[in-house]
């Protein structure tokens, strides 16, 4: 199943569960058990996935607008700092609250998402990675994806990360994911070693 087919299946499942009332029934049950709840919706990129096919999964602009419109109707959307204040002051927040966040601070958070957020008067928090601002440098995980997307090699042998076959775009996405997961573990191990040495 390719990415387009997977997206269509996911959309169909969401449509069916919504119209059967399964999601609403689950939400109602949770609200009865928990006095209040907050849902945090995290995004990375908004735009046209075909423009940067190698990048982190991107939400299409129209899909993002549909989601924001739905959230605006169904939830009380709060700025993140408002939620933090409610928690610190042990104050209650709306029974159906939501927070919208963006990780990493990609440019299209401003060029595509901001226009929609402004249109619906919806607050959002962008978690900027300040070391990358104005540098033009890619994140390490994006570098892996970029290199794999543009390589002409059909077989890649990496000492500690294994051997991979990249004959198609599906292979490239799968291999990028596997390599990034292995690199995350290595970075975590290095962090743990460093912390132990510094204690």
CATH 3.20.20.370 placement within the chain: 35-132
Q: Following CA atoms 138, 142, 148, 150 in sequence, which dihedral angle do they give, to the nearest 10 degrees?
A: -50
Strand, coil or helix: 155: strand
Alpha helices in 21-58 (DSSP H): 22-33
What CATH superfamily is the domain 35-132?
A: Glycoside hydrolase/deacetylase (3.20.20.370)
The pLDDT of residue 30: 52
Question: What's the pLDDT score for residue 152?
Answer: 87
What pTM was computed for the model? Answer: 0.66
Q: Interior CA angle at 154 toward 151 and 155, to 5°?
A: 105
Is the distance from CB of 54 to CB of 68 less than 8 angstroms?
Answer: no
* pLDDT for position 46: 92
pLDDT by residue for the chain (199 residues), tens only, comes to: 665 566 666 566 655 555 555 555 545 555 555 556 788 898 988 988 777 777 777 889 999 999 999 999 999 899 988 888 878 887 777 778 899 999 888 888 899 999 999 999 999 998 888 777 788 888 878 888 888 888 888 888 888 888 888 888 888 888 888 888 888 888 777 777 777 777 6
């Amino acid at each position: 199943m390719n990415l387009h087919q997977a997206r269509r299946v996911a959309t169909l499942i969401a449509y069916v569960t919504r119209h059967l009332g399964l999601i609403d029934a689950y939400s109602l049950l949770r609200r009865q058990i928990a006095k209040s709840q907050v849902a945090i919706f995290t995004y990375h990129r908004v735009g046209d996935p075909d423009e940067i096919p190698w990048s982190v999964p991107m939400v299409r602009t129209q899909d993002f607008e549909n989601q924001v419109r739905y959230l605006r109707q169904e939830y009380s959307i709060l700025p993140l700092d408002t939620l933090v204040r409610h928690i610190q002051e042990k104050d209650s927040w709306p029974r159906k609250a939501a927070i919208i966040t963006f990780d990493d601070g990609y440019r299209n958070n401003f060029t595509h998402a901001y226009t929609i957020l402004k249109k619906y008067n919806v607050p959002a928090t962008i978690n900027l990675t300040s070391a990358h601002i104005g540098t033009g440098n890619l994140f390490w995980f994006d570098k892996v994806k970029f290199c794999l997307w543009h390589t002409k090699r059909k077989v890649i042998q990496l000492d500690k990360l294994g051997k991979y076959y990249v004959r198609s775009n599906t292979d490239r996405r799968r291999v990028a994911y596997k390599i990034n997961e292995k690199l995350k573990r290595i970075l975590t191990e290095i962090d743990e070693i460093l912390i132990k040495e510094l204690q």
